[in-house]
């Protein structure tokens, strides 16, 4: 089991130590090893939408692009409004319910309504 943390910018796990820093091979982001230790606490993580606005539980958001649902023929259309979102930890930060079902979405595909 590797002790190298995932990248805080893109959340990919393809990272490696380089001197006093960690480096992400996917996005090129570098961060200090000392700052990596408290990164495990997601309770204070701020979730931002595609425009950089901070999202909170209960906000209404709009999809900024068409999203194909993996393993299904459903496509979530751009401009669809989603009410009463819930923020959760992990790669897909937003949990929501729509007419097509319940989905977990990445905040980078949403904007605050």
Per-residue tokens: 104: 């977990």
Cβ-in-10-Å burial (0-12, 13-18, 19+) of 45 comes to: exposed
pLDDT in tens, 18-45: 888 888 888 888 888 775 555 445 556 7
* 88 Rama sector, left if φ>0, alpha if ψ -120 to 50, beta otherwise: beta
Q: What's the distance, CA 11 to chain centroid? A: 8
* Residue 35 confidence (pLDDT): 55
Q: CB atoms < 10 A from the CB of 64, how many?
A: 15
Which class is domain 61-112?
A: mainly beta
1-40 matches 61-112 in fold: no
Residue 86 phi/psi, 5-degree rounding, is: -130, 130
Whether residue 76 is predicted with pLDDT greater than 90 in this model: the reply is yes
* Kind of pairing between the strands at 101-105 and 75-76: unpaired
Each domain of the chain, given as residue ranges in start order, spans 1-40, 61-112
CATH architecture, range 1-40: Single Sheet (2.20)
* Residue 1 confidence (pLDDT): 46
CB half-sphere exposure, 15, CA atoms < 13 A = 23
């Amino acid at each position: 089991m590797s002790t190298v943390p995932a990248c805080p910018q893109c959340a990919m796990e393809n990272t490696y130590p380089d001197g006093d820093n960690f480096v992400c091979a996917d996005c090129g982001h570098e961060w200090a090893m000392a700052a990596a230790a408290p990164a495990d606490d997601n309770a204070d993580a701020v979730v931002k939408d595609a425009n950089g606005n901070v999202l909170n539980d209960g906000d209404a958001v709009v999809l900024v692009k068409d999203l194909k649902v993996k393993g299904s023929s459903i496509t979530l259309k751009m401009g669809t409004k989603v009410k009463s979102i819930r923020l959760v930890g992990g790669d897909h930060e937003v949990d929501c319910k729509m007419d097509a079902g319940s989905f977990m979405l990445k905040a980078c595909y949403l904007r605050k309504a």
